[in-house]
A and B are shown apart, each in its own frame.
Chain A
Amino acid sequence: MTERLHRLRVRARVLADVRRFFEATGSLEVETPAIVACPGVDAHLDGVPVELRPGGRGSDPIRRALVTSPELHMKRLLCEGVGSIHQIGKAWRDGEVGDLHEPEFTMLEWYRVDADADELMDDTERLVRELAAEHAGAVLRFRGREAPTAGPFRRVTFAEAFDEHAGIDPFEDDERRMGRMLRAAGVRPPRTATRDEMLDLLLGAVVAPKLGVGVPVFVTDWPKGRASLARVVPGPDGDRAARFELFACGVELCNGYWELTDPDEHRARFAAENAAREAAGAAPSPADDELLAALDAAGGLPPCSGNALGLDRLLMLLLDAESIREVRTFPCPVR
């Protein structure tokens, strides 16, 4: 059997296994739109623009976009009271191309009503362990790094991860110290990098490649400024976002939250993200008024936690692939 056919078959079996996993929990599988008015409000994510001509040829086009994630629609479903839901669907992010990035990719996204972040991490760990046992001899592999999955996954805080792998306090250290630690790690930051950008570079180029080697690891307790749509919770060392990411073999696999439910806080976060977009010279993203209305309505968003996991990346680690293009059926035509 050719390598390619083998990969296609593993992909198909993983999709079936994921569906079985969630069906057993009583979760409802849903499909939300690809073409949307509001692709997401993120400082660093751009929706792929779509020109729609509902009136047919010769009619005026209306500008829409492809979703950067199914999150906003799935939260509207949760507001409708449908209960725990999951989706295997595509997401699109303009301008992201690399060994771990394609503008189009497959996301597994799920929400559990009444669960907190710890329970979502437990779910995620169980899912990854089962898939790795079935398809990869219980070891995730990437670029010579290995992460056996049989034993319990590690959990460390954002602060602990930076301290351990970069000698940095991501909450207190200033740009000068970050610049020094970057250069010590062989990474020369661009001259115009802000503190936030240096933190991203430290995470992406120094810390992440070392995370989840030897055992997968969840990174928890993110900075308040990187809460996205996660709840912010006071802690012994200050406010922290109830956000977690799973890393294995140095690869970021998922991003999950104990979800923010307050509608006014949603408005404030959307405004802050758009302000950051404008400061970076990008057009603001349209606000999702329908989501805000659903959050405002009686009941609003029930307490829940959710996670978005990159299925292509998980497949890469199950198959020890060099690039995301090897596990997707055909590459995105970016050239």
Chain B
Amino acid sequence: MAMLSHVDLRKGVKVEIDGQPWVIIDADFVKPGKGSAFTRVRIRNFLTGNTIERTFKASDKVSPADVEQKSCQYLYNEGEDFHFMDNETYDQIMIPKENLGDSWKWMAENMETQVLFWKGRALSCDLPKAVVLQITQCDPGERGNTAQGASKPATVSTGATVNVPLFINEGDWIKIDTSSGKYSERVNK
């Protein structure tokens, strides 16, 4: 990939600095009249989420980051190994659980996901807004008890825990909001 010059450094552009991948949040060209020129960028790290400021001489060249997003279907997992299929190439990809953040908790088989790769290494996984999963373990439901606020912990098929209303039973299918990890509603299946 060709090196980037200061005019290429804009919001949303992905760059590699100090061996790490970053996205530019803000860029400013600074040049007092008849003085030397600089580019100041605010960048966020794809691995750590940290945001920092860097100042370059305007003549400095910056490496673009080989970061790409791919549409992948989640297949299954074997312990810590999560198996996906690249929707474009049909290649099977294995992503270790530790690279999936909290996404592993809500990944149902055959779910469509967006996986972010850097130099071929998966960094993170974006899920659909909601997922439907089956309750595999919880205390028996209390019929008729729909009191607001009352809830109990339940385990879903992925092994993750979610708080559910008291009337929910093992075997029930529930919809979960994937960004908050909260119960949305019971679903008939």
Contacts and interface: CB of A to CB of B under 8 A. Distances in A.
Interface of A: 42-45, 95-101, 186-190, 192-193, 196-197, 199-201, 203-205, 208, 226, 228, 245, 252, 255, 334-335
B139 interface: no
B55 A205 contact: yes
Contacts of B35: 44, 199-200, 203-204, 226
B55 A187 contact: yes
A101 B53 CA distance: 21
- Shortest beta-carbon contacts, A-B, top 6: A98-B29, A200-B35, A204-B30, A200-B36, A204-B32, A203-B32
Contacts, number: 76
B116 interface: no
Contacts of B31: 44, 96, 98, 101, 200, 204
Given A44-B31, A190-B38, A205-B38, 6 more contacts: A44-B34, A200-B32, A201-B30, A203-B32, A205-B40, A208-B32
Contact of A245 (B33, B38, B57, B58): B33
B54 A188 contact: yes
Contacts of B37: 44, 95-96
B1 interface: no
In this complex, the interface size class of chain B, counting residues with CB under 8 Å from chain A, is 20 to 34
A188 B6 contact: no
A226 B37 CA distance: 15
A182 B82 CA distance: 47
Contacts of A199: 35
B80 interface: no
9 contacts: A44-B34, A97-B29, A190-B56, A192-B57, A201-B36, A204-B31, A205-B55, A252-B33, A335-B7
Contacts of B6: 95, 97
Given A197-B57, A335-B7, A187 B28 contact: no
Interface in B16-75: 28-38, 40, 53-58, 60
A106 B20 CA distance: 41
A255 B28 CA distance: 22
Contacts of A99: 28-29
A252 B36 CA distance: 15
A84 to B, nearest CB: 23
Nearest to A103: B7
Given A186-B53, A188-B54, A201-B55, A97 B32 contact: no
A36 to B, nearest CB: 18
